[in-house]
Amino acid sequence: MGTILAALANQFQALLARARDGDTDAIGWLALGVAALVWLMTRAAQALATLLSPAKPAEGLELAYPPLYTEGFPVVGNVAAFARNPLQLAKRAYAQLGDVFTLRVGPKRFTFLVGPRAHEVFFRANDDELDQGPVYGFSVPVFGRGVVYDAPLAIRLEQFRFVSTALRAARLREYVPLMVAEAETYFKRHWHGTDGTADLLKSLSELIILTASRCLMGREVREQLFEEVSTLYHQLDQGMQPLSVFAPHFPCKAHWQRDRARREMRRLFASIIANRRKRYQEIAAQAESVGQDPQQALEAAKEVDVLQVFMDSQYRDGSRLTDDQITGLLIAVLFAGQHTSTITGTWTGLLMLRKPELVTRVRAEQEQVLYDDDGCFKIDYDALLRLDVMHRCIKEALRMYPPLIFLMREVVIPRTYRDYVIPKGDIVVVSPPLAMSLPEVFADPDRYDPDRYAPPREEDKRVPFSHIGFGGGRHACMGEQFAYLQIKTIWSVILRDYDLEPVGPLPLPDYSAMVVGPKPPCLVRWRRRTP
């Protein structure tokens, strides 16, 4: 530390000397240094003020604040433990303090609500009481200005309405054939020959981005621009690091690349949208010229994808999404579904393949549901909905290893729970992996047991907000059905064409990632089945 300070002091003196000689670069660096110092001191003063403020409600209030949990040294203890493994820290706090407690991490107060009863406070609140905007604000440079968490609440809710329209059952029915085509093509191309070894996480990640680009971003992206868009997606993804949560505009390469990629995405989609609109106009004009109904011709020619839904969406005041907002919403939907579905699909395989009797049952169900009387294999929307055993296998993988480990909101209007009041400004947190491993909610929680959801046990239905892998309440996942359809399609194709066995021990979850998945490698050995 002393050496670093001495080096900084030397640098400072050298800069000062250069500045005195009129070196404009040096003057610039000094100005930047002074600004950074002022900023740091202000933040430190704020942090200190928060830490020193008493954890007590205002005079006259009957209720107390939730108990505080602290580990190690008073100020830095929680910070270090939180950085190492935030979920383990929360688990230790829960073991000591029960279903409501507060963790101070630096200047922030995180109040955890654990278990179905406590979850009610979180999931039943409206957006004026608990706000997502401030806690998910780090996504703004990726999604863009004026969309989702950067939009005023009323606009944000309208935008969520557009997303929900794009993911309605009638739409999903049309996406399923696209999912099937992508899965069949992918495995034919990448798992070819008689046998081999593959990393499930890598394979599913590649396949799911192909499917997402087809169903969400459209035919043009999938057929002509896939490489370009997946590179841009990767750069946006790399721009969402743990550092970005605390300092989304910190000057570093990952953030510069992210900003460039976001601009490039906008340019690319503006051009796709303009081309579509021009083509539709030509089709309508041509229909009119031969006496046909132009509107009908137009509707028939429209693409089937989420991009098209966004292009057609209208706010209540009659205005439409701008090209930049369409781009932002597409990126947001892609981010919501890509890692989460890849991870859940991978865990499903990793866990299911370790239980051969389960694979036998999933295959038996598949033979019953997906083969017609002539022995032809056909996956469609209705058939996928009838794959109950497979559904439970996915649901159970999600219970044990949910990719989103903390769901958060900022308290706008103080909330009460039991004898406590959670004050304005606190971040309330619900933790799916913590809550879904409670033995009083899910019996023998460390056991992979998909039958726990089948009658008569139905452990997830005894009380609301037990299984929260897809969240709950007004902000429950809008892509739940899409995710199930996609994962079921992938595993139906794999199990039809290959016999598999896992390689090595079950991977551990990687808690250093923003979206928590299995630590690679996630290897399986596959052997092509004879038809």
Helices 323-352 and 200-212 pack at an angle, to 10 degrees, of 150
We find the least distance from the C-beta atom of residue 297 to ligand HEM, in angstroms, to be 30
Stated as kind and residue range, the H or E segment containing 220 is helix 219-224
Q: For the window 152-191, what string marks contact with ligand HEM as x by the rule CB under 6 A?
A: --------x--x---x------------------------
Asked if residue 333 binds ligand HEM (CB under 6 A), the reply is yes
According to DSSP, the residues that pair with 421 across neighbouring strands are 416
Nearer to ligand HEM, 196 or 473 (CB): 473
**Residue from the set 336, 389, 411, 421 that interacts with ligand HEM by CB under 6 A:** 336
Helices 24-52 and 2-20 pack at an angle, to 10 degrees, of 140
Taking CA atoms, 263 is separated from 145, 227, 241, 268, 326, in Å, by 11, 17, 19, 9, 13
Q: Tokens 């780090």 correspond to what residue?
A: 138
- Tokens for 221? 């992206």
**Residue from the set 340, 366, 431, 466 that interacts with ligand HEM by CB under 6 A:** 340
Nearer to ligand HEM, 159 or 235 (CB): 159
Stretch that binds ligand HEM, among 95-103, 249-257, 281-289, 340-348 (CB under 6 A): 340-348
**Residue from the set 341, 346, 366, 466 that interacts with ligand HEM by CB under 6 A:** 341
Asked if residue 260 binds ligand HEM (CB under 6 A), the reply is no
Asked if residue 404 binds ligand HEM (CB under 6 A), the reply is yes
Nearer to ligand HEM, 255 or 327 (CB): 327
- Tokens for 121? 């406070």
We find the least distance from the C-beta atom of residue 165 to ligand HEM, in angstroms, to be 12
Q: In 3-state terms, what secondary structure has residue 371?
A: strand
Asked if residue 493 binds ligand HEM (CB under 6 A), the reply is no
Asked if residue 403 binds ligand HEM (CB under 6 A), the reply is yes
Closest by Cα among 136, 135, 137, 97 to 113: 97
Residue 297: φ, ψ to 5°: -65, -40
Residues 33, 469: Cα–Cα separation, whole Å: 45
Nearer to ligand HEM, 81 or 387 (CB): 387
Q: Tokens 């670069």 correspond to what residue?
A: 25
What single DSSP character describes residue 195?
E
Taking CA atoms, 229 is separated from 274, 334, 466, in Å, by 18, 12, 38
From its phi and psi, is residue 144 left (phi > 0), alpha (psi between -120 and 50) or beta? left
How many angstroms from the chain centroid is the CA of residue 410? 18
Q: For the window 452-481, what string marks contact with ligand HEM as x by the rule CB under 6 A?
A: -----------------xxx---x-xxx--
- By CB under 6 A, the count of residues binding ligand HEM is 22
Query: Closest CB to ligand HEM belongs to which residue?
Result: 479
Nearer to ligand HEM, 114 or 478 (CB): 478
Q: Burial-class residue 315 by CB neighbours within 10 Å (0-12, 13-18, 19+).
A: middle
Asked if residue 517 binds ligand HEM (CB under 6 A), the reply is no
Nearer to ligand HEM, 136 or 526 (CB): 136
Asked if residue 115 binds ligand HEM (CB under 6 A), the reply is no
Residues 338, 332: Cα–Cα separation, whole Å: 10
- For residue 531, whether the previous peptide bond is cis, meaning omega lies within 30 degrees of 0, is no
**Residue from the set 225, 353, 407, 494 that interacts with ligand HEM by CB under 6 A:** 407
- Does 393 show up as a binding residue in the annotation? no
We find the least distance from the C-beta atom of residue 53 to ligand HEM, in angstroms, to be 28
Residues 202-221 that bind ligand HEM (CB under 6 A): none
Binning the chain into helix, strand and coil, the percentages to the nearest 5 are 60, 10, 30
Alpha helices by DSSP H, 21-115: 24-52, 77-84, 86-97
We find the least distance from the C-beta atom of residue 496 to ligand HEM, in angstroms, to be 22
Stretch that binds ligand HEM, among 68-76, 103-111, 188-196, 396-404 (CB under 6 A): 396-404
Please, are residues 82 and 105 in contact by the beta-carbon 8 Å criterion?
Answer: yes
* 276-297 per-residue burial string, b: 16 or more CB within 10 A, e: under 16: beeebeebbeebeeeeeebeeb
Nearer to ligand HEM, 379 or 394 (CB): 394
Asked if residue 344 binds ligand HEM (CB under 6 A), the reply is yes
**Residue from the set 87, 483, 490, 522 that interacts with ligand HEM by CB under 6 A:** 483
Stretch that binds ligand HEM, among 274-282, 338-346, 442-450, 493-501 (CB under 6 A): 338-346
Q: Tokens 């407690």 correspond to what residue?
A: 101
Asked if residue 482 binds ligand HEM (CB under 6 A), the reply is yes
We find the least distance from the C-beta atom of residue 216 to ligand HEM, in angstroms, to be 7
Asked if residue 337 binds ligand HEM (CB under 6 A), the reply is yes
Interacting residues toward ligand HEM by CB under 6 A: 160, 163, 167, 333, 336-337, 340-341, 344, 398, 403-404, 407, 469-471, 475, 477-479, 482-483
Residues in the annotated binding site: 477
Where is the binding site for heme, in residues? 477
